[in-house]
Structure 1
Amino acid sequence: MAEGAVPLTIVPPLPIGELFETGFDWFKDTFDAFFDGVGDFLDATIDGFAGLLQTPDPLVLAVVLALLAWLVRDWKLAGGSLVGMVVIIGMGMWEPAMETLALVVIATLFALLVGVPLGIWAARSAVVSRVLRPVMDFMQTMPGFVWLVPVVILFSIGVAGAMIATVIFALPPAVRLTELGIRQVDSEVVEAGQAFGAGPRQILKDIQLPLAMPTVMAGVNQVIMLALSMAVIAGLVGGGGLGNEVVSAISTLDLALGFDAGISVVILAIFLDRLTGSIGSRRPGHGRLRELRQRFTRTPATSPA
């Protein structure tokens, strides 16, 4: 192309970002007081839980977490968990690790409170499933850093914005795997429940959710892992915990600090992954249908007239 020539194009400019920004500014100005209240509540909740985790002596809490791992799985996981927690204490990363754990736990709870009901709804309605699928695709493929921009505008720099970004980033697996687990339940088992007089709620509670629990727990596992990864990224917007340590190590080129923080993240990730994976591996027994039959035959269904 000759110097000074104007490139030709038949595509008109599309100010999609500007339109979104205009709408977002109106949304923020309209509901600013509401988001301030939500931000204060989230700050208090996460700070309170982090303070609770930091109240006992680090070694005492490390033993408690190891006992939890033993209760859920076996002594091998308990021993490995205890060693990992002691390593975190020895590196001086216990306090930020507990802040990150608090953020991950609270964000996971919020993501599950929203995602599991949406997954159940999608499993029971093809229309809802078709509507949610592109929304979940959008949420899951959007880079995590992008979610930091709108939440910081709404909640400013701090833990609240970091948690909202974490929930948005970690939500899709809860919806997808809950829906998948319920849809994979054998239709014959559901029909057996209906034959014994179970209503839709009872079938969901006593048949579909128990049989779908391994898949649902796989979704919980994925939510926790995504929340942990996003919690580290959220250190860029004042998320606290190990994320702040990683950001500080990057800004000062402190290799030792970055390595200590990274190892602490890995230890937390392995602990949470093995813990939730052990819970999810407990599949319902083959006697579930027999138990269901015995339960419903105590109150025989009324035969249609």
Structure 2
Amino acid sequence: MHLIQFYDDNGTRAVGVTQQGETRRVNGAGSVYELAQAAMQQIGGLPAAIEARGLGEALDKSVLAREGRLLTPIDHPDPAHLHVTGTGLTHLGSAATRDSMHKKNDKPVEELTDSMKMFRMGLENGKPQAGQKGVQPEWFYKGNGHIVANPGHPIPSPAFALDAGEEPEIAGIYVIDQHGQPRRLGFTLANEFSDHVTERINYLYLAHSKLRACSFGPELRVGDLPRHIEGMSRIIRDGQVLWEKPFLSGEDNMSHTIANLEYHHFKYELFCQPGDVHVHMFGTATLSFADGISTRPDDIFEIEESQFGLALRNPVRTEAEKPVIVGGLY
């Protein structure tokens, strides 16, 4: 089952569900967040909440995408209560992308960079046995709901950025219930979008490089994550494919389990506040930047994987410079 959010012909927010190859509107639903809140109050989860409302007219998702009417598959009425975070060095091959100086992972620990040490820690203890705690991953904060671009709409890159690069990832979608318990809705495609030139200056600039916009969706795949995910990431310039490369995800291609990554995010009480939404990105090993690509305004990012429905497409746009003025209240 897949869920989308969109604007109908009257400009009203609506929700669609895809089941057995057919997409239909969910009656009386203005948001997936609303459906999730209803699902937490009854047995049967999201499927039961959708069944209780019933289904309306058939939808053509491709038309909604072409007309720019798709929204991200979840948002929050108050964008400040949607948290966008992520983990890095979680995929097999991701360390080679991060640290091209190390071609092999068999050097003595004292000769490895911090990136390679972190990656090897994940290889050794990122998939613990049931009931045990694994090693914590690299973790980063991206922002809140204000940094999210809808599918099909431009991803803004600030004027001060040194790079505007895609990161094709899978994101987990969570809502915190009234007891402070994270409740996973499912997974979606995501473009984590980072400034890799800034990060390359010094690894301690990683936090700065992640404070950028992002996009995810268009569809929310309800349920568990497939163990093997093999999609395609590409950049389109002036109507032609400039670069493309497969990306892998799912636990068969990762050095951590999803459960381990979830534990090390939600172990913080800060991230267990009732009503909040979390979009947590699980990392990638595929970047056009690693192949020497530098994007330009109006380049289009395209990330697709058939198990997640429609492709995620966004052009990149450079924002005008904004003066920073700090005023006093004293």
- Interval containing the TM-score (normalised by the shorter chain): under 0.3
- Taking structure 1 as the reference length, what is the TM-score of the superposition? 0.24
- State the structure with more CA Rg: 1
The structure that is strand-richer by fraction is 2
The structure that is helix-richer by fraction is 1
